[in-house]
Amino acid sequence: MRWHRSLLVFLAAAFVAAPADAGWNSLGDFPAPSPTAGGLAFRNEQGVVSVTALGSSVVRVRFVPGQAFGRDHSYAIVNRDLGDAGASVEIGGKESTLATRALRVSIQHAPFRVSIATAAGEVIDADDAEMGTAFAGHRVRVWKELRPEDHVYGLGEKTGRLDKRGWGLGGSAYAMWNTDTYAYDASTDPIYASIPFYMVLRGGRAHGIFLDNTFRSFFDIGKESQQLLSFGAEDGELDYYFIDGPDPKTVIERYTTLTGRMPLPPRWALGYHQSRYSYFPESRLRLLADTFREKRVPADVLWLDIHYLDGYTPLTWNHERFPDPKKLLTELRAEGFRVVTIVDPHPKKERGYAPYESGLANDAFVKSPDGSVYEGNVWPSNAEKNPRPSVFPDFSKPSVRDWWGGLYKEYLDYGVAGIWNDMNEPAVFREPAHTMPPELRHDNEGQPTDHREIHNVYGMLMTRSTFEGLSRLRPQARPFVLTRASFAGGQRYSAIWPGDNVSDWSHLRATIPILAGLGLSGFPFVGSDIGGFAETATAELYTRWLQLGVFYPFMRSHTTLGTPDQEPWSYGASREATNRHAIELRYELLPHVYNEMKAASETGVPAFRALFLEFPQDPATYALDDEILFGRDLLIAPVLREEATERELYLPAGDWYDFWTGAKQAGGRKIKVRVEIETLPIFVRSGGFVFRQGVVQHTGEMAGQPLRVFVYPAAKSQATLYEDEGEGLGYRDGQFLRRRFAQTRTGESVSLEVGPAEGRFRPAARNLELRVRSERPASQVALAGQKLAALAADSPAGATGYRNEAGFMIVTLPDRYDAFQVTLTP
């Protein structure tokens, strides 16, 4: 033992450049670089480095040990055109610089160190002077300075705190390796998805780093040393993008310019989803559907988990349990339900089974190094009858993605509305790795490699195959895909849920930092299993979870095999009413939710939003793990503790309005609110516009609903509302409606302006209700200069006029699509 250790010390010393860890070779002396298109190229006997500006605020740094870069290929990045960088280079003897309009990148040649500063010279991101960039065998890593005031966010789907520096700057280390982690907890890492992107917030100023490497990668946020942030991968290039803000939302916009954005989801996918492992047979699913409608609990989507399959075999149907899927799905559709089915990436190895046969014919499956098709056990090996191993499509081969995507045809013909891709880490029942062996071979888009390089993108490439397949099969529809595993850029293809959580209060709380972290890593369409997957939720926990779930972009209850049902009515009559109210709130808010998701699809900025994204200058928001914004204007402080009688929450500076009572609260402080089981504390930011409708039982009932625009006081504010058919791609050709709502207040007078309609979509005839929060009722209300009538409490619904109700002036008129103005005078 002793001998061994001293050998290590000797080796460490022999590797010079003072690496902190045995084996690391820090990049040493480089000769002066040569200019390239948009940057600089360096080369010495250790390796090659390029530093390139992509637009004025994004810089790519690429390093590989050895004499040449490999193929410039990325599964994550879809766009490197971020506009003209206005780049210029200066090559010096000891140092060279690359300047853009916004940044100044200084590169010291010997030893090689990079430092990125604003054009004014303020250093934003700097290599650690001692370690800099290093390699050890195939491993690559870079150490960067971490300052005491830095807060670090993101890394996609990660457990623990929102601020990845953890408690009291204790630091934390994370790995990226997609892993099926049933009943994980706050200390489990990694879990299902890998998004090697983080954001640093320093004194309100933000920048981000994206490491574009699909191998197992590592991020150390102040754990090894409180002064260091390091990241790297076990193989491949150290290929990273520095993305400047300075606003944190701008960092996300730029990151998603590189990696793409969530496509606009179909509106039904923003309704309520009910799932369990598993609803079967058909009569059970029908009963579920009928119960929703009988009990008047709104819902849009029912989910079929693996028991609808024949022996858990992907892309089959168990016709004993579901004799006529097409008839069933058609009839459910008539009741306003869509059905989503699970499809895992492990076709069964069985002669005569079409996906296996056609997969073999298409050379579609992942192989062992000896060229034989790899077999592993997953669900089909647990089937009661005829258990067999599975084979695995190689989604890194474009022709395989096309082939697999086409296999959904039969499901779509039955009327399946969306696809749930699970087990795509990929999970294999083979312990301890619980995945494929590392030496398996993949096509890797024409440059064959082993599983180590494809593992982290396997799930994302599966969702790509699904999304593209659904798009080809139904070119006019918006695909809906849910995945468990993914990688940076996977937001282009699917929504994501963080797998198998537990019915436990700590898990309820944990969903906020996990989902907010995903959101600020480019994935806005997220939601955790409501009620928790493993174990059994108490009535109280389920209700609290459903209440928070109102603001999960993807709102689905789900639970595992063998647990009691987790349905809104499963806990007795009084809880049923409370749970119904939570889901009704979601449906009332659907115009708002849809609007925010549309915005997320355009900017990448998530609707389920960590507070610091809106208040980067407010340190009190930096470590908030237990409240969330939905969009810009709604602050949600869900009740997260058992038997709570009050909830303490933080309101950032400014005025806030209680969503339920309209009461004003001054921000910039913590407040306490009394809570009962019905209570879901929500506050609206001063000047906020909240777009609501009446309660509907499913999204198919929205036509004709009044549009209720709640307007909260501010001297001046505005918002835009986006609407469309909720389905299809007509919106891309102008079938949408976008309007601007603005208010100006002078004293007690309010002037509301509704801007001209953009786009050709017009909703079915309906009323517009402008609900203006005002301390004093108005005595005169005019629409386009014409005085409106005061309405009596018993006026027929929909009569044009105004009335005062509980602190809101409500102006009702048939909705119209010209620009107009409403004035309210006391």
Question: Which value, to the nearest 10 degrees, does the dihedral of the CA atoms of residues 681, 687, 689, 690 take?
Answer: 10
Cβ distance to ligand GLC smaller for residue 219 or 303? 303
By C-beta, is 69 or 277 nearer to ligand GLC? 277
**How far apart are CB 273 and ligand GLC at their closest, in Å?**
12
φ, ψ of residue 89 to 5 degrees: the values are: -120, 155
Report which of 299, 264, 296 is spatially closest to residue 285, judged by C-alpha positions: 299
Q: How many alpha carbons fall within 13 Å on the CB side of residue 157?
A: 36
Q: In the complex with ligand GLC, which residue's Cβ is closer, 259 or 560?
A: 560
**Cβ closest to ligand GLC, residue 239 vs residue 425:** 425
Q: Which is nearer to ligand GLC, 227 or 382 (CB)?
A: 382
Nearer to ligand GLC, 559 or 699 (CB): 559
Q: Which residue's CB is nearer to ligand GLC, number 533 or number 731?
A: 533
**Of these, 53, 89, 270, 306, which contacts ligand GLC (CB under 6 A)?**
306
Query: How many angstroms separate the CA atoms of 556 and 423, rounded?
Result: 18
Angle at alpha carbon of residue 352, lines to 349 and 355, rounded to 5°: 60
If the CB atoms of residues 111 and 459 are measured against ligand GLC, the closer one turns out to be 459
Nearer to ligand GLC, 277 or 817 (CB): 277
* Interaction residues for ligand GLC, span 759-818 (CB under 6 A): none
Residues 695-754 that bind ligand GLC (CB under 6 A): none
In angstroms, give the least distance from the CB of 774 to ligand GLC.
47
Q: Which of residues 532-551 bind ligand GLC (CB under 6 A)?
A: 533
- Write down the H helix ranges in 295-372: 325-334, 354-361
CB of 534 to ligand GLC, least distance (A): 9
Question: Is residue 305 at the binding interface for ligand GLC, with CB under 6 A as the rule?
Answer: yes
Site size for ligand GLC, by CB under 6 A? 10
* H/E run at residue 406: helix 398-406
Q: Nearest residue to ligand GLC, using CB?
A: 277
- 104 or 484: CB nearest ligand GLC: 484
Of 422, 453, 627, 723, the one binding ligand GLC (CB under 6 A) is 422
Cβ nearer to ligand GLC, comparing 99 with 534: 534
Distance CA 78, CA 80 (A): 7
Can you tell me the distance from the alpha carbon of 450 to that of 436, in angstroms, rounded to the nearest whole number? 10
Residue holding tokens 């119904």?
Answer: 580
Distance in Å, CB of 623 to ligand GLC, minimum: 30
Provide, rounded to whole angstroms, the least separation between the CB of residue 277 and ligand GLC.
Answer: 4
Q: Are 246 and 206 in contact (CB under 8 A)?
A: yes
User: For 119, which DSSP code?
Assistant: T
Q: Specify the long-range contacts of residues 333-337, CB closer than 8 Å, at least 24 apart.
A: 333/415, 335/289, 335/290, 335/293, 336/293, 336/300, 336/697, 336/698, 336/699, 336/700, 336/701, 337/289, 337/292, 337/299, 337/300, 337/301, 337/302, 337/698
Of the pair 459, 631, the CB lying nearest ligand GLC is at 459
Cβ atoms of 313 and 356 closer than 8 Å: no
C-beta of 304: minimal distance to ligand GLC in Å?
A: 10
The Cα 5–Cα 550 span in angstroms is: 56
- Tokens 């963080």 locate to 498
- Least Å from the CB of residue 182 to ligand GLC: 6
| In 305-354, beta strands by DSSP E | 338-342
State in angstroms the smallest separation of the CB of 422 from ligand GLC. Answer: 5
Enclosing H/E stretch for 251: helix 248-259
3-class DSSP state of 453: helix
d(CA 744, CA 750): 6
Residue 686 near residue 655 (C-beta atoms within 8 A):
yes
Query: Of 452, 454, 353, 472, nearest to 403 (Cα)?
Result: 472
804, β-bridge pairs:
809
What is the residue-wise DSSP string for 78-117? ----------EEEE-SSEEEEE-SSEEEEEETTTTEEEEE
Shortest gap between Cβ of 416 and ligand GLC (angstroms)? 16
Among candidates 235, 141, 219, 238, which has minimal Cα distance to 450? 235
- Give me the least distance between CB of 306 and ligand GLC, in Å please: 4
Active site residues per annotation:
422, 425, 500
**Among the listed residues 336, 418, 499, 549, the single contact to ligand GLC using CB under 6 A:** 499
DSSP class of residue 372? P
* Helix, strand, coil fractions of the chain, as percent rounded to 5: 20, 30, 50
> Would strands 608-609 and 646-651 be described as parallel, antiparallel, or unpaired?
unpaired
282 part of the interface to ligand GLC, by CB under 6 A: no
Which of 49, 54, 342, 407 contacts ligand GLC by CB under 6 A? 342
**Which of the residues 554 through 583 are near ligand GLC (CB under 6 A)?**
558
Contact 22, 8 (CB under 8 A): yes
CB of 563 to ligand GLC, least distance (A): 11
Compare residues 239 and 305 and give the one whose CB is closer to ligand GLC: 305
Burial of 153 (0-12, 13-18, 19+ CB in 10 A): buried
> Does 338 contact ligand GLC by CB under 6 A?
no
d(CA 34, CA 91): 8
From the CB of 482, what's the least distance to ligand GLC, in Å?
10
Please list every residue from 449 through 488 that binds ligand GLC, using CB under 6 A: 484
CB of 313 vs ligand GLC, minimal distance in Å: 13
Q: Which of 125, 500, 567, 588 binds ligand GLC (CB under 6 A)?
A: 500
State CA 803 to chain mean position distance: 41
The 221-250 contact track toward ligand GLC, x by CB under 6 A, reads ------------------------------
**Of positions 277, 429, 569, 817, contacts ligand GLC by CB under 6 A:** 277
Helix (H, G, I), strand (E, B) or coil at 358: helix
Per the CB < 8 A criterion, the answer to whether 618 and 652 are in contact is yes
Query: Which residues of this chain interact with ligand GLC, rule CB under 6 A?
Result: 277, 305-306, 342, 422, 484, 499-500, 533, 558
